[in-house]
Amino acid sequence: KAGVTQTPRYLIKTRGQQVTLSCSPISGHRSVSWYQQTPGQGLQFLFEYFSETQRNKGNFPGRFSGRQFSNSRSEMNVSTLELGDSALYLCASSTGGVDQPQHFGDGTRLSIL
């Protein structure tokens, strides 16, 4: 069974630009969550989508947004990039039950110059 696929794996942008990251969940999974991982803050929850609707949201500014398509694939967009947005962005999918484990992709490494 194929795992969670994230593209691209690496991305370099400059301040002020915007970026779109993509995530394909495990087949049959309807929930997709996004996390930001940095050495100082660890893994922090951005938002979760379930059946094309944002179900939960973390404490990130509105520059971070996402969406989910009817095939459960998800995209995350970050606008007006700042140096502090440099991080590993991880996507995780699950069946959608609140007590079900999330399965992670290998992330997109975003570097802001």
Partner 1 sequence: EDQVTQSPEALRLQEGESSSLNCSYTVSGLRGLFWYRQDPGKGPEFLFTLYSAGEEKEKERLKATLTKKESFLHITAPKPEDSATYLCAVQTTGKLIFGQGTTLQVKP
**Cβ 63 vs Cβ 80: under 8 Å:** yes
H helix or E strand, kind and range, residue 8: none
Omega of the bond leading into 8 within 30 degrees of 0 (cis):
yes
Residues of this chain, 59-88, that bind partner 1 according to CB under 8 A: none
Shortest Cβ 37–partner 1 spacing (Å) = 9
Residues of this chain, 24-53, that bind partner 1 according to CB under 8 A: 33, 35, 42-45, 48
Among 7, 18, 20, 56, indicate the residue that binds partner 1 (CB under 8 A). 56
Residues lying near partner 1 in the complex (CB under 8 A) are found at: 4, 33, 35, 42-45, 48, 55-56, 58, 90, 92, 98-99, 101-107
